[in-house]
Amino acid sequence: MRLHVVDHPLVAHKLTTLRNRETDSPTFRRLADELVTLLAYEATRGVRVVEHDISTPVAPAKGVKLTQPKPLVVPILRAGLGMLEGMTRLIPTAEVGFLGMIRNEETLQASTYANRLPDDLTGRQVYVLDPMLATGGTLAVAIQYLMERGADDVTAICLLGAPEGVEHVRRTVGEDASVQIVLAGMDPGLNEVGYIVPGLGDAGDRLYGVV
């Protein structure tokens, strides 16, 4: 399992504004969207392509195109939805599946409540979108689920992570798994209710309001 914390001044700038409690929901949504596109650029460095011959107006040329089947993007509901546009802007032809996961706020255990995915993910490259990698419970369950269905390469794109969460995912999927985590920032740890500190609060609430 590989971890990549993106080190770029624009990413740091947008993340700082996201963290700010004064940032309202419309601005938060727009910035999350922009930030995901920047992270997606880094996260898709290993996206699979095949050679593709074309003709320019001047001469034949060799290039590449995305392999079939196309990459699958899976936002984790609800907060991952706020990352979907930013990702599909970069890979408009990607397929999109959905996983609804909820965390029990007392036990911090994750469980699946909705699933709209292709049945067979054999050989698929999958990009999971989940803004907060806190305890890692949700992401670990989601990645395992995708790999059990046949996905052979999974990249998780998160806005913020904590070391506990990264280690939990690493222990669950195994050191040798073809899994990559891409973060805009890594914070020092979690508080007693499993929130990332200093973090940015509840990502779902900041995107969509408290419901």
Task: Annotate each residue in 122-141 with x if it binds ligand URA (CB under 6 A) or - if it does not, as one string.
Answer: ----------x-x-------
The string over 150-176, giving b where at least 16 C-beta atoms fall within 10 Å of a residue's C-beta and e elsewhere, is: ebebbbbbbbbbbebbbebbbebbeee
Give the shortest CB-86-to-ligand URA separation in angstroms: 17
Closest CA to 70 of 92, 85, 52: 92
Give the shortest CB-168-to-ligand URA separation in angstroms: 13
Residue 72 or 159: the one with the smaller Cβ distance to ligand URA is: 159
Q: How far apart are CA 165 and CA 162, in angstroms?
A: 5
**Residue 208 found at the interface with ligand URA (CB under 6 A):** no
Q: How far apart are CA 135 and CA 157, in angstroms?
A: 15
Binding segment toward ligand URA, per CB under 6 A, in 14-22, 43-51, 92-100, 193-201: 193-201
Binding segment toward ligand URA, per CB under 6 A, in 24-32, 33-41, 56-64, 195-203: 195-203
Residues 6+ apart with CB under 8 A from 191: 197
**Number of other CB atoms surrounding residue 74 within 10 Å:** 30
Binding segment toward ligand URA, per CB under 6 A, in 30-38, 59-67, 85-93, 199-207: 199-207
Tokens 């070391």 map to which residue? 163
Among positions 34, 78, 195, 208, the unique one binding ligand URA when judged by CB under 6 A: 195
Give the shortest CB-81-to-ligand URA separation in angstroms: 13
**Residue 202 found at the interface with ligand URA (CB under 6 A):** yes
3 state SS of 160: strand
Residues that bind ligand URA (CB under 6 A): 132, 134, 195-196, 199, 202-204
